Structure 1
Amino acid sequence: MTETFILRQQHGHIGQITLNRPQKLNALCLPMLAELVAAIQDYDATPDVRAIVICGQSRAFAAGADVGTLAESGAIALYTSGFSEHWDQIAACQTPIIAAVQGYALGGGLELLMACDIIIAAPDAVFGLPETTLGIIPGAGATQRLTRTVGKSLAMEMVLAGRRLNATEACAQGLVSQITEDGETVSTAIAVAGRIAQAGPLATHMAKAALLASYDMPLTAGIKYERTLSALVAASEDRKAGLAALGSRTKPTFHGR
């Protein structure tokens, strides 16, 4: 029987993905990543889905990349396998992605979180990058995304010395947006996704693109890019619907065009 690594549910305009390898603490193997990317890309291509929520189980969001997968791969095989590129494909999703984190988010699991847009944590969430203790280094974006998120010094300590952050520390450093009560992490993430889903989908896609561009562009170029997208969305039917609803004090209906 083929193992199902990913579970999917749709709640109105929200697509939910649950990592489903609990016996391995959701360690990310190649088939699991392939299923995850396929699910995200499917939701991203579905106009009716306006936000995506990714979650794990109570013990772990994802405790890293599958060590067996890494151990069995030589340098060239690993480089050409497309294994690490799965994280890039997740980051390329236009639809906003909210991650709900319970328990461990380590190594590739933390890199998966940083490819998402909003991270919401349970009180017991733990974040870390243990790769150097295994004689390797992060390979799916952590050295770049973590530094941009928490700054050089803390990123260095996490990567070089294996420091782990609890939920309170992660929130204080800007790695997560909020900490929930016990048992409310997934429902809170779905509620945040619901608020996103009520907004204009073209606007959320363009706003996400502009925010992500701030990582790569100088300030002047980023402002010009934002201005371009702001002018472009002004030509949309969604903008007309939003302004009309504001004038009539009614709730707008957006169609993503």
Structure 2
Amino acid sequence: MPEEAPLLIVERPGPGIVLLRLNRPEKRNALATPLLQEIAGALQRADGDDEVRVAVVTGSESVFAAGADLGELAAASSSDPVESDRFKAWAAIRDFRKPLIAAVEGWCLGAGAELMMCADIVVAGEDARIGLPETNLGIMPGAGGTAILPRLVGRALAMRVVLTGEPIGAAQAREAGLIADVVPAGGALEAALDLASTLAARAPLALAAAKASIKNAGQLAVSEHLRAERELFLSLLGTEDKAEGLRAFREKRPPVWRSR
């Protein structure tokens, strides 16, 4: 029997970069739980690998991910546990400490949009369409669509996107602050990898600390956040990377980061 294709293709396209390609073309990259677990596992391994500085996740040229797996959804019931394997996989993806970039082309719907929202920076092709159509199936978003989206774009647009189920285009998503960059259709992955190369050349401990601090903006009061920011800042002052960064700047040479 022919060997089954992997649900997730993991590549190393450049120094310090790991690329995760969703690989369920026959299901339009629908995010069944096994695929989510593959993503979570790949990111957990990347988190513990000092050679990885940044991760990129992408789909195909026509679809990033078209939602959850309908067969799995049909079998689910209200008696399912809250902290299911799927819930844990989502939590693990969000816990990734290093920069995560999403390269989005075409349709990005439902769970696909929720995966995109796990990324720190999103690069989208100009033809990308992002939506949360779950209410048309008698359900609602369940992995960040109502918890994360309003924190990113505000209440008004989140209500419209979720309640109508109508997708928005890349230009509107950028204007709303949901994505960072819009590029010509077909160019999202190349642009994302260029950005990943830029990040991979920067201090890894500093990137992780900065990411953690920015994420705190949605969780802490300003006074608490300012204190937490200061603590993270101070934690970097005793690192070898800080000493190397200053030394390299004075010597006018590229720094050599050690992640310590």
TM-score if structure 2 supplies the norm length? 0.96
1:70 maps to which of 66, 70, 73: 73
Equivalents in 2 of 1:33, 1:243: separation in Å?
40
- Corresponding residue number in structure 2 for 1:25: 28
**Unmatched 5+ stretches in structure 2:** none
Query: Is residue 2:106 matched to residue 1:103?
Result: yes
Greater CA drift, 69-78 or 95-104: 69-78
Equivalents in 2 of 1:198, 1:129: separation in Å?
35
- Deviation of 1:191 after TM superposition, in Å, equals 0.9
Query: Is residue 2:230 matched to residue 1:227?
Result: yes
- Corresponding residue number in structure 1 for 2:246: 243
Decide whether the 8 Å contact of 2:105 with 2:185 is kept in 1.
Answer: no
Query: Is residue 2:187 matched to residue 1:198?
Result: no
Decide whether the 8 Å contact of 2:33 with 2:85 is kept in 1.
Answer: no
Equivalents in 2 of 1:94, 1:137: separation in Å?
28
- Corresponding residue number in structure 2 for 1:165: 168
- Corresponding residue number in structure 2 for 1:45: 48
- Deviation of 1:75 after TM superposition, in Å, equals 1.6
2:17 maps to which of 14, 17, 26: 14
- Deviation of 1:165 after TM superposition, in Å, equals 0.7
Equivalents in 2 of 1:126, 1:84: separation in Å?
25
Decide whether the 8 Å contact of 1:17 with 1:54 is kept in 2.
Answer: yes
**Structure 1 vs Structure 2 CA RMSD:** 1.1
Using the aligned pairs only, state the percent identity.
37
Q: Could you list the structure 1 runs, at least 4 aligned residues long, displaced by more than 4 angstroms after superposition.
A: none
Q: CA offsets per residue over residues 131-159 of structure 1, 9 Å max, x none?
A: 11111011111111100111001100111
Decide whether the 8 Å contact of 1:84 with 1:139 is kept in 2.
Answer: no
Q: SS of 1:139's equivalent?
A: coil
- Deviation of 1:80 after TM superposition, in Å, equals 5.0
Q: CA offsets per residue over residues 63-109 of structure 1, 9 Å max, x none?
A: 00111111112222363532133222101000110000001111100
Aligned length: 257
2:126 maps to which of 99, 123, 137: 123
Decide whether the 8 Å contact of 1:87 with 1:111 is kept in 2.
Answer: no
- Corresponding residue number in structure 1 for 2:6: 4
Equivalents in 1 of 2:81, 2:60: separation in Å?
28
- Deviation of 1:28 after TM superposition, in Å, equals 0.6
Greater CA drift, 72-81 or 223-232: 72-81
- Corresponding residue number in structure 2 for 1:254: 257
Q: SS of 1:153's equivalent?
A: helix
TM-score if structure 1 supplies the norm length? 0.97
Q: CA offsets per residue over residues 145-202 of structure 1, 9 Å max, x none?
A: 1001110011001111112110111011110101112322101101111111111110
